[in-house]
Amino acid sequence: MKPASRRPIAIWLFVCSAMVFATLVVGGVTRLTHSGLSIVEWQPLVGTLPPLSQADWLEVFEKYKQTPEFQKVNHSMSLEEFKGIFWWEYFHRVLGRGIGVVFLLPFLYFLLRGHIERALVPKLVGIFILGGLQGAMGWYMVKSGLVDDPRVSQYRLTAHLSLAFVIFIAMMWVALDLIEERSRYFAHEGYRRLQRFGFWLFMLACYMVVTGGFVAGIRAGKAYNTFPLMNGHVVPPEIFLIEPWYQNFFNNMATVQFDHRLGAWLFAFLAPWFWLRLRQYPDRQRAQRVATLMLAVLAVQITLGILTVLHAVPVALGAAHQGGSMVLMAVLLWLNHELRVPAQLRIP
């Protein structure tokens, strides 16, 4: 594939990545405003159209009235109030479907025009399949809140969130591969260790996404609204109250929030250390600039996390913190991509 034909494909994937980011932010607002259970059916095609008449609205509202959330939490909600939560969930679903359209149609165009090299086709098909699975996972998550307890399963919510990041990572990495212009660089063992360091920073970001999913799933951000200590403790005494012990990592507010905070503390110390080590390679200036950007984004993200906890997760801060996690992930992907060296140029 010629560089000229690669660039439009890369731009298309970056646009799709931006749409995934937008969907993540809207999904965060949907969760924080308790809007996710307002649509009680999964209609991938028919559900694209919202209620268009008063009769349509009354029908949708009547279906919502049959749910545990209405009966146990929102039993005094009016139709106008219902519309407020309906639109957030509706736009979240429409954005998800929009990603599928924006991904599929250009893919078919590029494929039929012969602009996609053969080795790239399975990767793009795989991303599209992941997108379909994400839609199914979203509905599987919503279904868990339409039974006795009007809350979605924290396991399904975390899986839904994690899969969004997997799709985002796959799109971004393929796009970066398409626009990369590598310079000849001979890597010694010290630089390889730095590469591994960058990879583990990326894995730490993945850990933060998963633990953040459980924080959101059990609403652990509503507890321990102090910083830097957790209600006066470095390690809260309630951390292993639940039996068996391993259930604390998924169901105990103290443990789940502690795990997430621990990741943030590790990031706060390891990221500057990585930045300093990278400064030892003056010929990797672009990677150094990306690492500096990573530090700036991390500082903003940690600040948002602290403010979110201190204010018990207001909608604006909670959504900004969730969006910031994907921005940080994008910068870490870019950084790791910059650190790569062609295998044939490595010194044994």
Tokens of residue 153, six digits: 């399963």
Tokens of residue 335, six digits: 């950084």
For 226, residues 6+ apart whose C-beta sits below 8 A from its C-beta are 232, 309, 310
Is residue 6 predicted with pLDDT exceeding 70? yes
Amino acid 3: pLDDT: 52
One domain, residues 124 and 78 = yes
One domain, residues 177 and 226 = no
Q: How many CB atoms lie within 10 A of CB 277?
A: 16
**Mean pLDDT computed over 46-68:** 90
What is the Cα–Cα distance from 213 to 313, expressed in whole angstroms?
Answer: 14
Residue-range definition of the domain harbouring residue 92: 1-181
**Mean pLDDT computed over 43-51:** 77
Q: Which of 147, 165, 181 is the last residue of a domain?
A: 181
One domain, residues 260 and 172 = no
Q: How confident is the model at residue 348 (pLDDT cuts 50, 70, 90)?
A: very low
One domain, residues 121 and 254 = no
Positive or negative: CA dihedral 172, 178, 180, 183: positive
One domain, residues 191 and 171 = no
Q: Which of 135, 153, 181 is the last residue of a domain?
A: 181
One domain, residues 143 and 214 = no
Q: Which of 181, 205, 239 is the last residue of a domain?
A: 181
Is residue 176 predicted with pLDDT exceeding 90? yes
For residue 243, CA distances in Å to 247, 251, 252, 258 come to 7, 10, 10, 18
Amino acid 344: pLDDT: 42
Q: Over pLDDT 90: what percentage of the chain?
A: 84
Q: What is the pTM of this model?
A: 0.93
Is residue 324 predicted with pLDDT exceeding 90? yes
**Mean pLDDT computed over 233-238:** 96
Q: How many domains does the chain have?
A: 2
Q: How confident is the model at residue 45 (pLDDT cuts 50, 70, 90)?
A: low
One domain, residues 176 and 190 = no
Amino acid 346: pLDDT: 42
Positive or negative: CA dihedral 99, 336, 208, 130: positive
One domain, residues 132 and 39 = yes
One domain, residues 102 and 234 = no
One domain, residues 150 and 297 = no
Q: How confident is the model at residue 213 (pLDDT cuts 50, 70, 90)?
A: very high
One domain, residues 190 and 328 = yes
